[in-house]
């Protein structure tokens, strides 16, 4: 790390000519991405989290719902780490016990799996539907555009988390309904982004050529317009995963999302929020987990934007 | 300027109708029979018929929508199913708390956010700049409710006994009471809009204390709101700081800044009067955009600090399946959100005359 502000500058200077083999647009984007400090940090965090999620069964010393009852172990026991001088007779508890005698460290580890799933599933769903709406609106124009985009405007007129809360209140609390609500409220963002880039792409000569060759509108839309319009979606989607994880955690914190004993970080915080004064570790660790995850996707998203946005390439 | 505002107000109409449609549809999306889900599974057929009659659920959907809109125009937001009180009363009681918190958080976020952004831009690439931007990146990634809990731990427990100790919950110190303005002004039997407005102001403790000249209570209420406001405002502060820094860095390279320096103006005059003023448009946009996040943050944070605002009310209403309350609050918040965005647009036109023409 240089001690300067380079890590945070949005544009990295072009460090000399690139080798010939890396000149494809994709290769160039990847190189720019890997050279970007915030992308490096973000990618490191996200890859680590994915590994933790994949190998949660091996990393976590206990099951997420396993109660550890031993003489001398109290409910909400603080962390006990042997190398830091905790008695060897006691079981090692990296983050302490929660209110139900469960190992908090194991629950936080399993929580990574859940939070990544929440982030990917909601954002994936929202991108799928949003892209379709945006592409159809931008490509067809006219009244379809008008109706679809005004509908999106109305959804955007609500603060997203509050609309999600309202949707969950109607559908009933639960993890699936939370995912659905968070996905619904993020659709308009993707619809707008895709529409804007479709409007730009559809005027290009290769679209005209394809249409002159007799391709059907759907074929043009799916085979030519969409692949060329998706770059901004990658950026917005990465940042969207961060928002989705935060929103879902918020709903679970209020008791409207995941239900016990699910190891969801927001729910873990919500369950133990009244213990903050006598067992702060129960609030600290799940919160840090959320923060690090969200930070990872935010940094990666910023890095992707710098690497992929043509306006920033100069 | 006038014509610009009128045009924007006219464009608001379809969005408002859309908001009405969404909140209306929300109540119709309840899975199963709304009567059973609101009155409980054991509701008899007669009770359900009376219920449908009362809420007009046996009429065609368009008629129901028109009735809903007409009631709203008369200030009738429906009746809470849980305790039979008008939703407008519940709002007058709970909303002021949430708005106070949102406004304070916004003040905190914009003052410190803009200051931090300007300082980072001026001290570009120094340790201060790097530190500020690391803080900004971490700040946008924190869940508000977690930050609230951590602040409560630090300022109420760890700093206990120091001058920095702050109360972790409640709106006023126990035992402190502030009479309602309805009583103070002797208009307890007021009805309609007057009653709503007076109740609203009266429940906004900061305003009420000022009106009654109770400075001690005002300061006490303010002290109780510091931690929640910091928790709610931090994400926005970080976002505002990032945008301010970016906008300032761009403006500082402009020729007129060089000219201002060349003619020997003091550095703070160059920064504040020449650079910041021209960087204001993106900054105001982003401040305006924060209102939604701040309102959501307020709702999440109230439960942490046991503040009697809309957030705690919403959670209760959702668990009790008190849909009219949820509906009323969602509607009000959306309207506030849209109106603030309109004000932001209007401020562009004020700051940048070119916007008025296009």
- Is B327–A8 a contact, with Cβ atoms under 8 angstroms apart? no
**Structural domains of chain B, with CATH:** 2-73 (no CATH), 87-351 (1.10.3720.10)
List per-residue pLDDT tens for chain B, 358 residues long. Answer: 677 778 778 878 888 888 888 888 877 776 666 677 667 777 777 877 887 777 677 778 788 888 888 888 887 888 887 778 888 888 888 999 999 999 999 999 999 999 999 999 999 889 999 999 889 989 999 999 999 999 999 998 888 888 888 888 888 887 778 888 888 888 878 777 888 888 888 888 888 888 888 888 899 999 999 999 999 999 999 999 999 999 999 888 889 889 999 998 888 888 888 888 888 888 888 888 888 888 888 888 988 888 888 888 888 887 777 778 888 888 888 888 888 888 887 777 777 766 665 5
What pTM was computed for the model?
0.85
Secondary structure (3-state) at B182: helix
Predicted local confidence at residue B6, as pLDDT: 83
pLDDT tens digits, one per residue of A194-216: 998 888 888 888 888 888 898 88
- Among A3, A162, A291, select the one facing B296 at the smallest CB separation: A162
Closest to A76 measured CA to CA, from A304, A274, A302: A274
- Among B23, B124, B146, select the one facing A287 at the smallest CB separation: B146
In angstroms, the CA A210 to CA A139 distance is 14
Q: CA torsion B242→B243→B249→B255, rounded to 10°?
A: -170
Q: Which residues neighbour A175 within 8 Å (Cβ) at sequence distance 6 or greater?
A: A252, A257, A258, A259, A262, A264
Contact yes or no for A170/A216 (Cβ under 8 A): no
Other Cβ atoms within 10 Å of A107 Cβ, number: 29
**Partners of residue A256 in chain B, C-beta under 8 Å:** 315, 318
In angstroms, the CA B267 to CA B260 distance is 9
DSSP B157: I
A309: pLDDT strictly greater than 70: no
Largest CA distance in chain A: 80
- Among A150, A159, A169, select the one facing B326 at the smallest CB separation: A169
Query: Using N-to-C axis directions, what is the helix angle for A231-253 and A281-308, rounded to 10°?
Result: 170
HEC string for chain A = CCCCHHHHCCCCCCCCCCCHHHCCHHHHHHHHHHHCHHHHHHHHHHHHHHHHHHCHHHHCCCCCCCECCCCCCCCCCCCECHHHCCCCCCCCECCCECCCCEEHHHHHHHHHHHHHHHHHHHHHHHHHHHHHHHHHHHHHCHHHHHHHHHHHHHHHCCCHHHHHHHHHHHHCCCHHHHHHHHHHHHHHHHHHHHHHHHHHHCCCHHHHHHHHCCCCHHHHHHHHHHHHHCHHHHHHHHHHHHHHHHHHHHHHHCCCCCCCCCCCHHHHHHHCHHHCCCCCHHHHHHHHHHHHHHHHHHHHHHHHHHHHCHHHCC
Largest CA distance in chain B: 85
- Is A5–B327 a contact, with Cβ atoms under 8 angstroms apart? no
pLDDT band at A264 (very low <50, low <70, confident <90, very high): very high
A21: pLDDT strictly greater than 70: no
- Is A249–B143 a contact, with Cβ atoms under 8 angstroms apart? yes
Contact yes or no for A164/A179 (Cβ under 8 A): no
Higher-pLDDT residue of A173 and A29 is A173
Joined together, the tokens standing for residue A71 give 């003489």
Contact yes or no for A112/A123 (Cβ under 8 A): no
**Partners of residue A272 in chain B, C-beta under 8 Å:** none
DSSP B134: H
Contact yes or no for A118/A244 (Cβ under 8 A): yes
Predicted local confidence at residue B324, as pLDDT: 81
Contact yes or no for B256/B274 (Cβ under 8 A): yes
**Tokens 């159809």 found at:** A136
In angstroms, the CA B136 to CA B119 distance is 13
Predicted local confidence at residue B104, as pLDDT: 94
Q: What are the phi and psi torsion angles at A16 (to 5°)?
A: 75, 175
Q: How many residues does chain A have?
A: 314
A154: pLDDT strictly greater than 50: yes
pLDDT tens digits, one per residue of A38-49: 889 999 999 999
A121: pLDDT strictly greater than 90: yes
CA nearest to B27 within chain A: A170
**Tokens 């990295």 found at:** A12
Higher-pLDDT residue of A73 and A145 is A145
CA nearest to A295 within chain B: B141
Cα distance from N-terminal residue to C-terminal residue, chain B: 12
Query: Using N-to-C axis directions, what is the helix angle for B277-304 and B215-252, rounded to 10°?
Result: 140
**Partners of residue A163 in chain B, C-beta under 8 Å:** 330
A1: pLDDT strictly greater than 50: no
**Tokens 């300022």 found at:** B155
In angstroms, the CA B211 to CA B260 distance is 45
A9: pLDDT strictly greater than 50: no
Secondary structure (3-state) at A159: coil
Classify residue A277 as exposed, middle or buried by CB count within 10 Å of its CB (0-12, 13-18, 19+): middle
- Is A162–B299 a contact, with Cβ atoms under 8 angstroms apart? yes
CA nearest to A296 within chain B: B141
Contact yes or no for A241/A123 (Cβ under 8 A): yes
């Amino acid at each position: 790390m240089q001690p300067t502000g380079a890590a945070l500058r949005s544009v990295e200077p072009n460090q000399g000519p690139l080798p010939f083999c890396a000149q494809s647009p994709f290769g160039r984007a990847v190189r720019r991405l890997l050279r970007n400090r915030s992308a490096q940090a973000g990618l490191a965090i996200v890859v680590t989290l994915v590994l933790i999620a994949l190998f949660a069964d091996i990393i976590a010393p206990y099951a997420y719902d396993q109660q550890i009852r031993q003489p001398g172990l109290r409910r909400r026991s603080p962390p006990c780490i042997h190398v830091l001088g905790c008695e060897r007779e006691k079981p090692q508890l990296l983050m302490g016990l929660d209110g139900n005698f469960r190992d908090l460290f194991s629950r936080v580890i399993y929580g990574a799996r859940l939070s990544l799933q929440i982030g990917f599933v909601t954002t994936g769903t929202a991108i799928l539907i949003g892209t379709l709406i945006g592409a159809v609106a931008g490509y067809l124009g006219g009244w379809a555009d008008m109706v679809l985009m005004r509908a999106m405007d109305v959804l955007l007129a609500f603060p997203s988390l509050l609309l999600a809360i309202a949707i969950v209140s109607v559908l009933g609390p639960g993890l699936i309904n939370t995912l659905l609500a968070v996905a619904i409220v993020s659709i308009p963002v993707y619809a707008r982004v895709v529409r804007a880039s479709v409007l730009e792409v559809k005027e290009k000569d290769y679209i005209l050529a394809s249409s002159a060759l007799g391709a059907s509108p759907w074929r043009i839309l799916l085979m030519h317009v969409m692949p060329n319009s998706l770059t901004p979606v990658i950026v917005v989607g990465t940042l969207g995963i961060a928002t989705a994880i935060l929103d879902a955690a918020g709903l679970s914190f209020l008791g409207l999302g995941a239900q016990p004993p699910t190891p969801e970080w927001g729910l873990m915080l919500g369950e133990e929020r009244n213990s903050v004064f006598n067992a702060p570790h129960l609030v600290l660790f799940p919160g840090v987990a959320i923060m690090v995850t969200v930070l990872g996707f935010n940094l990666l998203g910023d890095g992707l934007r710098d690497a992929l946005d043509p306006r920033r390439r100069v | 300027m006038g014509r610009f505002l009128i045009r924007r107000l006219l464009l608001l109409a379809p969005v408002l109708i859309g908001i009405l449609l969404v909140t209306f549809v929300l109540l119709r999306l309840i899975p199963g029979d709304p009567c059973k889900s609101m009155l409980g599974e054991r509701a008899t057929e007669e009770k359900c018929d009376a219920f449908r009659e009362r809420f007009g659920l046996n009429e065609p959907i368009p008629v129901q929508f028109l009735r809903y809109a007409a009631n709203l125009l008369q200030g009738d937001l429906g009746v809470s199913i849980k305790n039979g009180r008008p939703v407008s009363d519940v709002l007058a009681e709970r909303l002021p708390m949430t708005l106070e918190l949102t406004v304070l958080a916004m003040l905190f976020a914009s003052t410190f956010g803009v200051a931090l952004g300007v300082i980072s831009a001026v001290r570009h690439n120094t340790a201060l700049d790097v530190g500020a931007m690391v803080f900004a990146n971490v700040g946008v990634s924190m869940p508000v409710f977690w930050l609230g809990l951590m602040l409560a731990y630090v300022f109420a427990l760890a700093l206990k006994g120091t001058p920095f100790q702050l109360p972790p919950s409640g709106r006023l110190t126990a035992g402190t009471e502030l009479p309602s303005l309805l009583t103070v002004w002797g208009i307890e039997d007021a009805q309609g809009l007057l009653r709503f407005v007076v109740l609203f102001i009266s429940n906004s403790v900061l305003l009420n204390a000022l009106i009654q000249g109770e400075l001690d209570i005002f300061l006490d209420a303010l002290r109780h709101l510091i931690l929640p406001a910091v928790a709610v405002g931090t994400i926005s502060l970080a976002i505002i700081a990032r945008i301010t820094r970016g906008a300032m860095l761009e403006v500082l390279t402009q020729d007129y800044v060089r000219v201002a320096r060349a003619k020997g103006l003091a550095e703070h005059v160059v920064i504040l009067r020449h650079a910041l003023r021209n960087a204001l448009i993106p900054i105001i946009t982003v401040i305006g955009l924060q209102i939604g996040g701040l309102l959501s943050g307020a709702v999440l944070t109230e439960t942490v600090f046991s503040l009697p605002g809309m957030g705690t009310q919403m959670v209760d209403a959702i668990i009790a399946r008190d849909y009219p309350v949820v509906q009323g609050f969602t509607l009000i918040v959306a309207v506030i959100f849209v109106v603030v965005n309109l004000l932001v647009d209007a401020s562009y036109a004020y700051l940048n005359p070119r916007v008025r023409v296009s």
